[in-house]
Amino acid sequence: MQSFNLLVSICLLYVAALFVIAYVAERGVQEGRLNFLRSPVIYTLSLSVYCTAWTFYGAVGSAARSGLEFVAIYLGPTLVFVGWWWFLRKLVRIGRTQRITSIADLLSSRYGKSNTLAVVVTLLAVIGTTPYIALQLQSLTLSFFVFTGGSGEGTSTPFASVTAFWVAAGLAVFTIVFGTRSLDANERHHGVVTAIAVEAVVKLIALLSVGIFVVWGVASGPADIFERMDQDLLQSSQIFNGRWVTLMFLSAAAIICLPRMFQVVVVENSNERHLATASWAFPLYLFLMSLFVLPIAIAGQSELPADANPDLFVMTVPLAKGQGTLATLAFLGGFSSATSMVIVAAIALSTMMSNHIVLPIWLQLNKKRSPASDDVRTLLLRTRRISIGVVLALGYFYFQITGGSDALASIGLIAFLGVAQVLPALLGGVFWHSATRPAAIMGICTGFFFWAYTLFLPSFDGAFILSQSVIENGPFGISALRPQSLWGNSFEDPLVHAVFWSISFNTLVFVVASLLTNPNSMERQQSAQFINVYGRISPSSTIARNAEAEELLILAQRILGRQEAMNLFNQTAVSQGKVSGLPDPTQPFVEELERKFAGSVGAATSHAMLAQITGGESVSVEDMIAVADETAQIMEYSERLKTQSEELKKTAQQLRAANSQLLKLGEQKDTFLSQVSHELRTPMTSIRSFSGILRDSDSLPPEKLKHFSSVIHTESIRLTRLLDDILDLSFMENGKVQLNIAPVNLSEVINRAATATETQLQERSSELLRNPASEQIKVATDSDRLAQVVINLVANANKYCDAEPPQISVSCRRNGGTVEIDVADNGSGVDESEVELIFQKFSKLSGGFFVGSAGLGLPISREIMRNLGGTLTYEPGGAGALFRVTLPLEHTEPASA
């Protein structure tokens, strides 16, 4: 047996060692040394605050009473961590981007930075955690008694309360010293975390040592230990039941929702990748912690008297075997479990209380003044220290009031369920866009009410608010409302009953209220930020705020500290392109400040403080209109782009068409050139050969000489005419021809044509039939050109008509605003397939129609008519060939080619 004094000295030495470790770690990290303290191992070990004295001692007790049930308490967290990819990763990412300081802050921030919600969650956390702290104090005093020879029943003696008091006071001092050293922007406490990691190692070593001693020291191996087992202990055929599922659910919820777990998992996380390591390392830690629980319980049952307290087997088994040192180590393990839990819980709760309760009240009281005018920093630190004291004092008084009763022993799971009430709001907030603030508040309050009514208050056995008779018979004797079997539903276990009803009603109210209410603009903004946290969407930046940079600087100095605030402002000024002076209070800057402040005082308070300075809510109706306008502008712009691209498409199409036309024209030009050269070649050849004969032979008879020179002459004339025609056609096609528009009688034109073709007609003894009466039509046109067309047509008809003798008729007719001149003959006409060809330059029809001609007559005539604003067409279906000239009575400009 260790003496009490020795035990106290060991404790004090241990605590002193923790002080030193925490101090060295804090300094080391600040100075940039000891970076291994930011490693995933430290992070994982710090998570072990989950294993409190209740689990350290109580797991063995639970195993002794109900077999494997204790494993569920560890399997729940295992599943959550193994499934970190689903939820914890998102939670940690949100915590880092939004600079979350506590679970209350997370919910408040998600639901529109609502302080009401933060207060509700804070109160819930305090109510759920205080009994838990009391439980730690009780375990500590109990373990003291084990060594000092007490029976473990006398925790209500004055001596016990003195012990508990000093323990509480000592923990308060430690927490205040290392938990509130600074208002670190991210609220990380390297000293505390390192100390807790050390305690985690002590816990693990202690439990493993006792376990190994039991298995291989007391018994002779695992098989031997299980041989000693009471056959009814495991009840293995009934492992899977409502309680098994419930415990798994509760512990899984607790690992996320417990304020102290949230503190170490999310707030103290310095690198998201640490979570990847913790995803298997923390379950491994839990695995090792529970590996020897069952053997220790079995050993306790078989080795110790039947009335021994199974909760203390971890210490009493080694003690009974005379292993004082091992028992002391076990004691230190329990001591570590209790202290680490109390320290972290106190830090988490004090942060919540100061950020969400004290600071908002203070802001409210000083509404008239700008928050920049007081030292928020000092106020905050002081509040936090006082809060830590208050939390521990609450725990102590709770212990004093209920000390030693069974009520306290079962408080662990009751506290789990209490804080688990935030789970629906938390899950909804992280995954569901439509979750709203009123719904979250209502859901949590509903769950809280059912929790208190069905589990928390009945746990006092009628000593607090609910009397014994109410618990047994229901309020006013209404049995349907009996706290432990609502609506007459009898679950075998009050815990399963309470979990079922409180979580169900909580979720139901939360979901229904979310569907019935609408989130406000701030909630919408925040929910988008939370749910799309991987998408890195940037907040809308159109919201204008008017703030003085000086005021912002003062406020920043009060919250962040002088040096850091100056650094931040200088950096921003530089990034804004200013050489000196303060940065402009632009929206992004104010938002960054808000996030920075949120890391110290929480989202709601930070928002309220900046709102007080910058004047008003961040999102007003005008802002929304501005946002809407911007959207409209963007839409209009995209509409414009669309029409532009359509226009471009159309233009491209036109260009393509023009290009193909140009290609065709180019081809035509080439054909034309080759045809022209061919046509020029024929007369040129005869001219060359005849002139060659003339040059070479000196003794030609005169008649031959005459014949040859006349051939040369005729061919030259033909050549000249051809060139004239080509020139004419080219002028016509380009529209460069000069027209002498004058009124003229058609009979005059036809007379000229008849005169001009008279000799040709006589050669073939053709007959020209005219109708002089129809020719009395006056038109305004170029008479020379029109006559040229008619001459050409008559000459063609004379030349190509295959009837003997040819008869050519010319008739005129008025048709509305136009005049038609028909030139017809009595031949066989033009074959229908060749109609288009005859109008092309140099056409040679297969029927020998144009044989021996240059083939430019009809194309020139057609071009003349086009220039005169009329047409020249071939009318098929008549007896012979019929060409029709159509021209307007009044001259109009021709359509461009």
Partner 1 sequence: MKSEPEKPEPSGKRAQPTRKIRESAALLPLLGIFLLLTPLISAFTQDSFTGGIPKAVSYIFGIWIGLIVLAAILARRLYNSGDG
75 touches partner 1 by CB under 8 A: yes
Its sign, for the CA torsion 849, 853, 856, 860, is negative
Give me the least distance between CB of 223 and partner 1, in Å please.
2
Give me the least distance between CB of 221 and partner 1, in Å please.
8
Q: How far apart are CA 604 and CA 594, in angstroms?
A: 10
Name beta bridge partners: 83: none
Its sign, for the CA torsion 505, 508, 509, 510, is positive
Q: How far apart are CA 407 and CA 465, in angstroms?
A: 14
Q: Rule CB under 8 A: which of 378-417 touch partner 1?
A: none
Choose which of 80, 332, 556, 761 interacts with partner 1 (CB under 8 A).
80
Closer to partner 1 by CB, 141 or 246: give it.
Answer: 246
Choose the binding region for partner 1 from 150-158, 239-247, 547-555, 758-766 (rule: CB under 8 A).
239-247
Choose which of 36, 86, 166, 534 interacts with partner 1 (CB under 8 A).
86
Choose the binding region for partner 1 from 238-246, 308-316, 343-351, 731-739 (rule: CB under 8 A).
238-246
79 touches partner 1 by CB under 8 A: yes
Q: How far apart are CA 82 and CA 281, in angstroms?
A: 10
| Per-residue H/E/C for 365-388 | HCCCCCHHHCCHHHHHHHHHHHHH
The amino acid at residue 696 is D
Give me the least distance between CB of 587 and partner 1, in Å please.
33
Closest CA to 10 of 134, 143, 209, 132: 143
546 touches partner 1 by CB under 8 A: no
Give me the least distance between CB of 225 and partner 1, in Å please.
9
Closer to partner 1 by CB, 62 or 612: give it.
Answer: 62
Q: How far apart are CA 304 and CA 321, in angstroms?
A: 10
- Dihedral, CA atoms, 730, 734, 739, 745, nearest 10 degrees? 80
Give me the least distance between CB of 93 and partner 1, in Å please.
12
Give me the least distance between CB of 275 and partner 1, in Å please.
8
Closer to partner 1 by CB, 270 or 796: give it.
Answer: 270
Q: Is 447 exposed, middle or buried (0-12, 13-18, 19+ CB in 10 A)?
A: buried
Residues 29 and 39 sit within 8 Å (Cβ to Cβ): no
Q: Rule CB under 8 A: which of 312-331 touch partner 1?
A: none
240 touches partner 1 by CB under 8 A: yes
Name beta bridge partners: 823: 810, 883
Choose which of 71, 441, 543, 856 interacts with partner 1 (CB under 8 A).
71
Residues 6+ apart with CB under 8 A from 171: 339, 342, 343, 346, 392
Half-sphere exposure of 126 (CA within 13 A, CB side): 20
492 touches partner 1 by CB under 8 A: no
**Three-state SS at 743:** strand
Q: What angle do CA 391, 394, 395 make, to 5 degrees?
A: 90
Q: How far apart are CA 728 and CA 864, in angstroms?
A: 10
Closer to partner 1 by CB, 86 or 487: give it.
Answer: 86
Q: Rule CB under 8 A: which of 10-69 touch partner 1?
A: 68
Residues 6+ apart with CB under 8 A from 842: 672, 675, 676, 678, 679, 854, 855, 856
Choose which of 5, 231, 643, 815 interacts with partner 1 (CB under 8 A).
231
Choose which of 35, 158, 223, 817 interacts with partner 1 (CB under 8 A).
223
Q: How far apart are CA 396 and CA 394, in angstroms?
A: 5
Q: How far apart are CA 487 and CA 482, in angstroms?
A: 8
Q: How far apart are CA 765 and CA 798, in angstroms?
A: 9
277 touches partner 1 by CB under 8 A: yes
Name beta bridge partners: 744: 779
Choose which of 61, 211, 283, 585 interacts with partner 1 (CB under 8 A).
283
276 touches partner 1 by CB under 8 A: yes
Choose the binding region for partner 1 from 278-286, 390-398, 606-614, 665-673 (rule: CB under 8 A).
278-286
Closer to partner 1 by CB, 227 or 550: give it.
Answer: 227
Q: Is 439 exposed, middle or buried (0-12, 13-18, 19+ CB in 10 A)?
A: buried
224 touches partner 1 by CB under 8 A: yes
Choose the binding region for partner 1 from 123-131, 221-229, 536-544, 720-728 (rule: CB under 8 A).
221-229
Choose which of 27, 33, 65, 273 interacts with partner 1 (CB under 8 A).
273
Choose which of 280, 432, 464, 839 interacts with partner 1 (CB under 8 A).
280
Closer to partner 1 by CB, 441 or 533: give it.
Answer: 533
Choose the binding region for partner 1 from 73-81, 157-165, 503-511, 540-548 (rule: CB under 8 A).
73-81
Closer to partner 1 by CB, 108 or 251: give it.
Answer: 251
560 touches partner 1 by CB under 8 A: no
Outline where 561-620 has alpha helix (H).
Answer: 562-575, 587-601, 603-614
Closer to partner 1 by CB, 82 or 201: give it.
Answer: 82
Closer to partner 1 by CB, 177 or 239: give it.
Answer: 239
- x/- site string to partner 1, residues 805 to 844, per CB under 8 A? ----------------------------------------
Residues 618 and 540 sit within 8 Å (Cβ to Cβ): no
Give me the least distance between CB of 341 and partner 1, in Å please.
23
Choose the binding region for partner 1 from 152-160, 271-279, 672-680, 883-891 (rule: CB under 8 A).
271-279
Q: Is 566 exposed, middle or buried (0-12, 13-18, 19+ CB in 10 A)?
A: middle
Q: How far apart are CA 235 and CA 212, in angstroms?
A: 25
Give me the least distance between CB of 113 and partner 1, in Å please.
31
814: left (phi over 0), alpha (psi -120 to 50) or beta: beta
Its sign, for the CA torsion 327, 329, 335, 340, is negative
Q: How far apart are CA 52 and CA 583, in angstroms?
A: 49
82 touches partner 1 by CB under 8 A: yes
Give me the least distance between CB of 293 and partner 1, in Å please.
11
Give me the least distance between CB of 621 and partner 1, in Å please.
42
Give me the least distance between CB of 230 and partner 1, in Å please.
12
291 touches partner 1 by CB under 8 A: yes
DSSP characters over 187-202: ---HHHHHHHHHHHHH
Residues 76 and 570 sit within 8 Å (Cβ to Cβ): no
Closer to partner 1 by CB, 140 or 293: give it.
Answer: 293
Choose the binding region for partner 1 from 283-291, 581-589, 665-673, 776-784 (rule: CB under 8 A).
283-291
The amino acid at residue 277 is T
Closer to partner 1 by CB, 431 or 487: give it.
Answer: 431
Choose the binding region for partner 1 from 24-32, 209-217, 218-226, 578-586 (rule: CB under 8 A).
218-226
Q: Is 417 exposed, middle or buried (0-12, 13-18, 19+ CB in 10 A)?
A: buried
272 touches partner 1 by CB under 8 A: yes
85 touches partner 1 by CB under 8 A: yes
Here the tokens at position 313 are 């087997």
536 touches partner 1 by CB under 8 A: no
Choose which of 149, 154, 222, 477 interacts with partner 1 (CB under 8 A).
222
Choose which of 6, 284, 574, 663 interacts with partner 1 (CB under 8 A).
284
Choose which of 166, 287, 397, 487 interacts with partner 1 (CB under 8 A).
287
Binding site for partner 1 (CB under 8 A): 68, 71, 75, 78-86, 221-224, 226-227, 229, 231, 234, 236-240, 244-245, 248, 272-273, 275-277, 279-281, 283-284, 287, 291, 294
